[in-house]
Amino acid sequence: MSTIVSTARSTTRGTTRSTRAELMRLRAWPAVWITLGAWLLLSLLFGYLFTYLSYTSGDPGFSDEGTTQAQQLARMMPDAVPHVFLQGMPMFGGALMMVLGALVAGNGYGWGTWKTLFSQGVRRTPALVGSVASLTLIVVGTLVVTFALDLAVSLLITASESQDVVMPSAGSVGEAFGAGFLVLQMWALLGFLLGTLARGPALSVGLGLVWALVVENLLRGVGQLLGWVENLTEVLPGTAAGSLVGSIVGVGGTDGTPGVVDTIPGDRAALTVAVYVVLAVLASIALVRRRDVT
C-alpha cells in the first residue's frame, strides 16, 4: 500500500513540475502569442467589425447578407455574446488550436526536449501529461480572454448606440464555455497527437490544416451524393464540433458561418467530441511510452 501511495505522489510531483516547466517554455515562445493573437483578431473581425460596418453603412456585407439593421444591432448586444463567442470556433479557432497543439508536441522532438528529458531518467507519462495540462490551461485562458474581449466590444457598441445593457444569462455563458472548451480542447489535443506522430512541427501542422480546412469540407460535400460517405462524416471531429456549436447558436442564425452545421444532434456531438479528447490523450501517451525518441 505504501508503495502505491509513494508512486502516486511521485507521479503527481512529476506531472506538476512538467506542467510548470512547460508553461514557462510556452509563455516565452512567440509562436504561442502569435497564434492566440490571430484567433482573437479573427474573432473580433468576423464577430463584430464586419457586422458593425454593415450596420453603420446600411449596406449588408457578405457576413450579414439578407439581414436588417435591427437584426445586425441585436447580434452585437451583450446578451448575444455567448453565440458570437462560439461561432468561429469549429473551423477558425479549431484550426489555430490544432496548429498550437502540433507545435507544442512537435517542437519537443525538433528541439530535442523529449530526448534530453527521457535520457536523464524523467518518467515519460508524467512529462507528457504535464505538457497536455499546460496546453489545456492555454485553452482555458484563450476562452476567458476571448469572452472578455467580445463582451467589452459589445458593451462599447451598446454605449455608442445608446442601447439598454442586457447581460447574458449565467446559463448561456456556462453552456458557451462548456461547448467552447470541448471544441478547442479537442482540436488542440488532435494537433498534439499529430505532432507526436510526426515527431516534428512542420508536417503535423500541414496535415492538421489540410484536414480541418479542406478534407472534411470535401467529404461533407461528397456525402450529399454518397450515403456511406455521409455516414462517415457524422463521426468526424469537424462535424462533431460544428454540430455541437450549431445546436447552441442555431445554424440559421449564423449566416453560413464556416464549420457550423446541424449534421448530428447536440448531445451526440458533445459525446463524440469528448471521445476524441480522451482518445487523443491516450494515443499520445501510448506513442510516447512505446517509441524510441532518438
User: Is the CA virtual torsion 265, 268, 273, 274 positive or negative?
Assistant: positive
Instruction: Tell me: pLDDT of 59 over 70.
Output: no
Give tens-digit pLDDT for 265-277. Answer: 999 999 999 999 9
What pLDDT, on the 0 to 100 scale, is given for residue 268? 94
Tell me the pLDDT tens digit for each residue of 144-191: 999 999 999 999 999 998 898 999 999 999 999 999 999 999 999 999
Band (pLDDT 50/70/90 cuts) for residue 127 is confident
**Which pLDDT does position 5 carry in this prediction?**
46
pTM attached to this predicted model: 0.88
The share of the chain scoring above pLDDT 70, in percent, equals 85
- Closest by CA position to 246, among listed 25, 16, 90: 90
Do 93 and 179 form a contact (C-beta atoms < 8 A)?
Answer: no
Separation in Å, CA 246 to CA 6, 50, 62, 259: 47, 21, 20, 9
Name which residue leads in pLDDT, 5 or 126. 126
Q: What is the pLDDT of residues 208-267, one digit of tens each?
A: 888 877 777 777 777 666 667 777 878 889 899 999 999 998 875 445 577 788 888 999
Between the CA atoms of 36, 238, 289 and 16, what dihedral angle is there, to the nearest 10 degrees?
40
The mean pLDDT value for 81-94 works out to: 91
Q: How do the domains of the chain map onto residue ranges? A: 2-290
